[in-house]
Structure 1
Amino acid sequence: MCLLTQSDLKRIFEKVDVNGDGLLSLEELNRMLEITGTCQYSIQELESLVETKSLGFSEFLFFYNSISEQQNGESRGSGEAEELESDLVKTFKVFDLDGDGFITSHELESVLKRLGMWDDTNCNDSTTMIRFYDTNFDGRLDFQEFKNMMLVSRA
C-alpha cells in the first residue's frame, strides 16, 4: 500500500467532511471507507474502533496510520513493526535535545544544522515546518506527531 502525504490526507479529510465542521462523523468516515473499498465496518464497529463519535484531523491521521499498519501487517511481521517503532524513538531522541519529550523549532533547526541540512540562507522556516505537523497546535512536536510525520512522509 502506498502511503499518502499529509497534504494528500488533509485534502481527503476536507473532501470527506461534507458539512465542513472540521470533524469527520462516523457516517462520513464510513462512507469514505466504503467508497475506497478500504475496510467494511458498521457504524457500531467504527465507534468501538475509534472510541469517539467524530474525528478531528489528528485523529484521522492516527486512524489512517493504524489502518495502513494493519493492512501492511500481512507483508511486515510484528518484529519489523517493533523495529520501526524503536528506530522512530531513537530518531525522536536525536531531535529532542533537552529530553523534555518535545521537538521545538529551535531543536529542529539545531540538529539540521549539525547534519549540514540547514544554513542561515535556507528559505524554509523551522517554525513553519513544526507547525505543519503540530496537530494540537502547541508549537512543538510530541512523539505521536513526530511518528505521524515520519510515517506519512515515507511515501
Structure 2
Amino acid sequence: MSPLNSEDLHRIFEQLDKNGDNLVSLDELNWLLERIGVHTSLHELESLVGKTSLDLIDFLFFCDTIIKPNIGESSKVAADHEEEEEATDNNLEADLAKAFNVFDLNGDGFISYEELQSILSRLGLWDEHNGRDCKIMIQAFDSNSDGLLDFEEFKNMMLVTNS
C-alpha cells in the first residue's frame, strides 16, 4: 500500500473543511480520526495538536506525523534533556523543510513571489489587491536581494514570524 501524497491530503483537507474557512477544526479532525479507528477526546487532541484548528500546512504536518511507521515500544529509549532539544531542533528543521517544499512549486530550491501567490491563492488567502504584498513579503526576508527566498531565508522568515 502506498502512502498518501500531498494531493491526496489536500483533497482530504478540503473535504474535512465543511464550512469552507480553510481551517480544519478539532471536531472535523476528530471525525476523521474516529473513522480510521483512532479514538481520542477533543482535549487530548488539542494538547497533541497545540491549537483549536489547523490550516493546510499544519494539517499536512499532522498527517505526516501520524502516517510515519510506529517505533516499537522495546526500541524506545528515554533521552536526556540535551538529546530532546536536539530532536526538537531536528523536527523543526524537518517541518520547515516540508513547508518550504509546499511553497517551492517547481522544486528549484527557491520560492518566488509567483509561487507564494499561487499557494496563498489555493489557501484562499490571496486576491488581486494583495499581489504586491507577495513581493513585499519576499523582499523583507530576501537577504541576498535576488528576488527569491532560499531555504535559509525562508527559515529566518518563519522563525521571526513565529517568535
Cα deviation for residue 127 of structure 1 reads: 5.1
- Cα 1:27–1:127, aligned 2, differ >3 Å: closer, same or farther? same
The one-letter code sitting in structure 2 at the alignment partner of 1:73 is: I
Identity of aligned residues (%): 35
TM-score, normalised via structure 2 length: 0.48
After superposition, residues 41-80 of structure 1 pair within 5 angstroms as 41-69=40-68, 71-74=69-72
Aligned to 1:6: 6
Kept in 2, the 8 Å contact 1:130–1:141? The answer is no
Segments of structure 2 that go 5 or more residues without pairing to the other structure are 77-86, 126-133, 139-148, 155-163
For 1:61 and 1:141, locate their aligned partners in 2 and report how far apart those are by CA, in whole Å.
21
- Cα 1:61–1:142, aligned 2, differ >3 Å: closer, same or farther? farther
For 1:58 and 1:44, locate their aligned partners in 2 and report how far apart those are by CA, in whole Å.
22
- After the TM superposition, which parts of structure 1 deviate over 3 Å for at least 4 consecutive aligned residues? 102-105, 126-143
Aligned to 1:18: 18
Q: CA RMSD in A?
A: 4.4
The one-letter code sitting in structure 2 at the alignment partner of 1:42 is: S
For 2:4 and 2:113, locate their aligned partners in 1 and report how far apart those are by CA, in whole Å.
20
The one-letter code sitting in structure 2 at the alignment partner of 1:57 is: L
**Matched residues, number:** 109
For 2:64 and 2:33, locate their aligned partners in 1 and report how far apart those are by CA, in whole Å.
14
Cα deviation for residue 35 of structure 1 reads: 1.1
Q: Which has the higher contact order (CA 8 A, sep 6+)?
A: 1
For 1:25 and 1:66, locate their aligned partners in 2 and report how far apart those are by CA, in whole Å.
18
